[in-house]
Amino acid sequence: MIPGMDDGQTGRAERGWCGEWIAAWDRFFFTPADPLPLALIRIGTGLLLAWSSAVWLLDIDAFFGVDGWLAPHEVWRMNDQPWQWSLYFAAWSPTAMRVVAGVTLVAAILLTVGLATPLAAVTSAVGFISAANRAPLNVFGFDDTLGLLLLPLVIGPSGARLSIDGLLAAGLPGARAEGVPSVRANVALRLIQLHLCVVYFFSGCGKLLGASWWDGTALWGAVANSQYRTLDLTGLARHPLLTNALTLGTLFWEVAYPAIVWPRLTRRVALGMAVAVHLGIGVAMGMMEFGLAMITANLAFVSAPVLEAFLVTVTGRAFESSIVPDRRSGRPPAR
């Protein structure tokens, strides 16, 4: 019981707190959002999946074949999940495997340009999951991030903007204006945002188990590995304090990401660090696909007006923007 309140007042206060919490939850997930960030994520994800599918096709027998790197009956040993499904378990012949990978590639291209987007998103997700489940030896951070991005693209209206679907629909009688905010767009973006917070936080916590992250030498360990690096940065050996600062700064950013990415005051710092870290990983360690996938995911935290202004600057043309007022205050939703 709260001091100075009787039982009735305490009950009303508790109901008021619960009501505010429910209202905040409702605003967070169900306030309509501009689908522009989701459209840009769709383009980036489609390009990356198309690249991945093309790589599969280069040596598809080794990736998914019966006599490949991992035989079908041995897959369950990798993940201890014998119920795991994949189209490649049924499509075991060379022709069938190429058809599945080819369809995934076509779906990824359609997803990129935004043609038949809902079907392309579902097909891309099914093809990607089939590949990941069939060849778990080849699944790394890049593939995990693609999975993180594809499912929200299935849920949200990812083809509502910057798409051929939008151009075709614009010519139909009674067509809605491009970029009309929707609840589905907000739900899809929130899923990506929350997933990123979980990924970064636990990735940072995992690093805390390593002594080299505590003493600030983890970055040097990667730089000094000549078989792993793609860029010679061994000159950092002459600047140990800089190496320590970069290592500890990266560690702090990962652990603190869920706390600093939400407030507008620190969001730019969090996103700027994300771009710097992932581009650095891509250039210096040869994991550019993973870096680009994570940067694409971080677009979920960039507001539609900022992306609108960026597109206008880059392309020199205006993009239609619409913002729905908040249902309770009548003001545009906070970005």
pLDDT of residue 328: 37
Residue 319 main-chain phi, psi, to 5 deg: -115, 135
Q: Is the pLDDT of residue 320 over 90?
A: no
pLDDT of residue 96: 93
pLDDT of residue 178: 57
Q: Tokens representing 117?
A: 């987007």
Regarding predicted confidence, which is higher, 84 or 247?
247
H helices of 69-182, where?
Answer: 75-79, 87-90, 94-113, 117-134, 141-155, 164-170
pLDDT digits (tens, 9 = 90+) for 190-225: 999 999 999 999 999 999 998 888 888 888 888 887
Q: Is the pLDDT of residue 5 over 60?
A: no
Q: In 3-state terms, what secondary structure has residue 128? A: helix
Lowest mean pLDDT among 24-38, 66-80, 87-101, 316-330: 316-330
Distances (CA, A) of 22 to 17, 25, 30, 142, 181: 9, 5, 11, 36, 22
- Answer yes or no: are the C-beta atoms of 257 and 204 closer than 8 Å: yes
Query: pTM value?
Result: 0.84
Lowest mean pLDDT among 30-34, 110-114, 175-179: 175-179
pLDDT of residue 335: 41
- Answer yes or no: are the C-beta atoms of 218 and 248 closer than 8 Å: no
pLDDT digits (tens, 9 = 90+) for 254-304: 999 999 999 999 999 999 999 999 998 888 888 899 999 999 999 999 999
Lowest mean pLDDT among 32-46, 155-169, 213-227, 265-279: 213-227
DSSP 73: G
pLDDT digits (tens, 9 = 90+) for 47-100: 999 999 999 999 999 999 888 888 888 887 776 666 678 899 888 889 999 999
What gap in Å lies between CA 84 and CA 99, rounded to an integer? 21
As a whole number of angstroms, the longest Cα–Cα distance in the chain is 77
Domain extents in the chain: 33-168, 193-316
H helices of 59-86, where?
Answer: 60-64, 75-79
Place of tokens 């190429």: 98
Q: Tokens representing 53?
A: 């599918």
pLDDT band at 183 (very low <50, low <70, confident <90, very high): very high
Three-point CA angle 293, 294, 296, nearest 5°: 65
What gap in Å lies between CA 38 and CA 157, rounded to an integer? 8
pLDDT band at 2 (very low <50, low <70, confident <90, very high): very low
Calculate the CA 213 to chain-centre distance.
Answer: 25
Q: Which amino acid is at 276?
A: A
pLDDT of residue 18: 85
Q: How many Cα neighbours within 13 Å face the side chain of 196?
A: 28
Regarding predicted confidence, which is higher, 229 or 111?
111
pLDDT digits (tens, 9 = 90+) for 108-145: 999 999 999 999 999 999 999 999 999 888 888 999 99
pLDDT of residue 82: 64
- Identify the top-confidence range among 70-79, 157-166, 173-182, 306-315: 157-166
Q: Is the pLDDT of residue 37 over 90?
A: yes
Read off the pLDDT of each residue in 222-247 and give the average, rounded to a whole number. Answer: 82
Per-residue burial over 260-278, b if 16 or more Cβ lie within 10 Å, else e, is bbeeeeebeebbebbeebb
What gap in Å lies between CA 117 and CA 263, rounded to an integer? 33
pLDDT of residue 185: 95
Which DSSP string do the residues of 184-252 spell out, in sequence order?
HHHHHHHHHHHHHHHHHHHHHHHHTTSHHHHTT-HHHHHHT-TTT-SS--GGGGG-HHHHHHHHHHHHH
